[in-house]
């Protein structure tokens, strides 16, 4: 594949906990997680697949993890840039973290460009008043990447209609709605989110769950200038996800946009 590639959905973990985190993720979703989960393991895949850049983040499952995760992501972004990659990092945040604004000020000063929230793993509803506190601190300066959607009744924290309400209350908030706006909830995402000028989407953890024809349909419905390529590493390896993406039969302009140019405009400015 002779395109520039930016992977806009990458989880990496410190070596000491990477295997444990990878196994826990697989248990939560009941699917195999083949990637190593380490920074070095991911960099090796980038080199093998001529990946030009990526967005790194990790999810805080407790408040006390927030600062250490943010320091770790900042350090890995610096390492990646030193290796020649176009690297971006998003901060972790947790609903029980007390001084949200001060920590996000610190993260912005360190060069982190946004925030990663996984409502279902964090058990943190999009319309929780504590989410509003985070949005208030982020609006107008930091992008929020939300894991979106689920088809299990016990995980309704990240329904697309809830994000639509949140965005109506924060009209200057920019978000990346992961998994085409709603993992296993794509019809709902189309109904409530597609067309919103403040929402971008990544295609992570979606291409393996649908036909290439359906993936192409969603890519075009989201807007070819709004979709970012993302592997959800370590859930998928880069090569395997590129192979799935190639099956969509998109035109050359759209392929270039999704694989690199959209991320360049949103994240690398």
Q: What tens digit of pLDDT does each residue of 171-205 get?
A: 999 999 999 999 999 999 999 999 999 999 999 99
The confidence score (pLDDT) of residue 95 equals: 98
H/E stretch holding 163 reads helix 160-169
Q: Give per-residue pLDDT as tens, 92-143.
A: 999 999 999 999 999 999 999 999 999 999 999 999 999 999 999 999 999 9
H/E stretch holding 185 reads none
Q: Give per-residue pLDDT as tens, 47-97.
A: 999 999 999 999 999 999 999 999 999 999 999 999 999 999 999 999 999
Answering whether pTM is above 0.95, one says yes
Residue 42 in tokens: 């991911």
3-class secondary structure, 176: strand
The confidence score (pLDDT) of residue 162 equals: 98
3-class secondary structure, 84: coil
The confidence score (pLDDT) of residue 151 equals: 85
3-class secondary structure, 195: coil
The confidence score (pLDDT) of residue 36 equals: 87
Query: What's the rounded Cα separation, in Å, for the pair 263 and 33?
Result: 25
The rounded percent of the chain whose pLDDT value lies above 90 is 92
Query: What's the rounded Cα separation, in Å, for the pair 141 and 143?
Result: 7
Domain ranges in the chain are 6-267
Query: What's the rounded Cα separation, in Å, for the pair 28 and 167?
Result: 28
Residue 127, C-beta contacts closer than 8 angstroms, at least 6 positions apart = 162, 165, 166
Confidence band (pLDDT; 50, 70, 90) for 269?
confident
Say if CB 106 and CB 74 are below 8 A apart: no
The confidence score (pLDDT) of residue 236 equals: 94
Residue 40 in tokens: 């070095």
Count of CB atoms within 10 A of residue 61's CB? 16
The confidence score (pLDDT) of residue 45 equals: 97
**For residue 105, what is the DSSP state?**
H
Cα 27 to Cα 62, 148, 175, distances in angstroms: 18, 18, 27
Cα 1 to Cα 50, 78, 129, 133, 249, distances in angstroms: 9, 27, 45, 43, 13
Query: What's the rounded Cα separation, in Å, for the pair 238 and 35?
Result: 9
Task: Name the nearest CA neighbour of 91 among 108, 17, 174, 232.
Answer: 108
**For residue 250, what is the DSSP state?**
-
pLDDT higher than 70, residue 1: no
Query: What's the rounded Cα separation, in Å, for the pair 192 and 111?
Result: 32
Residue 268 in tokens: 């690398």
- CATH class name, domain 6-267: alpha beta
């Amino acid at each position: 594949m002779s395109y520039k590639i930016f992977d806009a959905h990458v989880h990496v973990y410190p070596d000491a906990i990477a295997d444990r985190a990878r196994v826990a993720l697989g248990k939560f979703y009941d699917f195999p997680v083949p990637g190593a989960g380490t920074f070095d393991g991911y960099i090796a895949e980038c080199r093998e697949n001529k990946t030009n850049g990526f967005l790194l983040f990790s999810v805080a499952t407790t408040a006390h993890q927030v600062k250490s995760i943010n320091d770790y992501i900042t350090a890995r972004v610096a390492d990646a840039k030193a290796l020649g990659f176009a690297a971006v990092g998003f901060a972790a945040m947790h609903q029980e973290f007390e001084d949200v604004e001060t920590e996000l000020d610190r993260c912005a000063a360190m060069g982190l460009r946004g925030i990663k929230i996984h409502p279902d793993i964090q058990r943190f509803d999009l319309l929780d008043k504590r989410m509003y506190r985070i949005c208030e601190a982020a609006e107008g300066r930091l992008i929020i990447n939300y894991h979106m959607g689920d088809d299990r009744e016990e995980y309704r924290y990240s329904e697309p209609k809830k994000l639509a309400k949140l965005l109506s209350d924060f009209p200057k908030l920019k978000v990346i709605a992961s998994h085409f706006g709603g993992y296993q909830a794509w019809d709902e995402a189309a109904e409530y989110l597609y067309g919103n000028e403040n929402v971008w989407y990544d295609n992570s953890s979606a291409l393996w769950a649908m036909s290439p024809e359906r993936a192409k349909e969603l890519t075009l419905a989201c807007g070819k200038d709004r979709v970012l390529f993302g592997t959800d590493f370590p859930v998928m390896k880069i090569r395997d996800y590129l192979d799935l993406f190639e099956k969509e039969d998109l035109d050359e302009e759209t392929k270039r946009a999704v694989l690199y140019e959209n991320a360049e405009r949103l994240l690398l400015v």
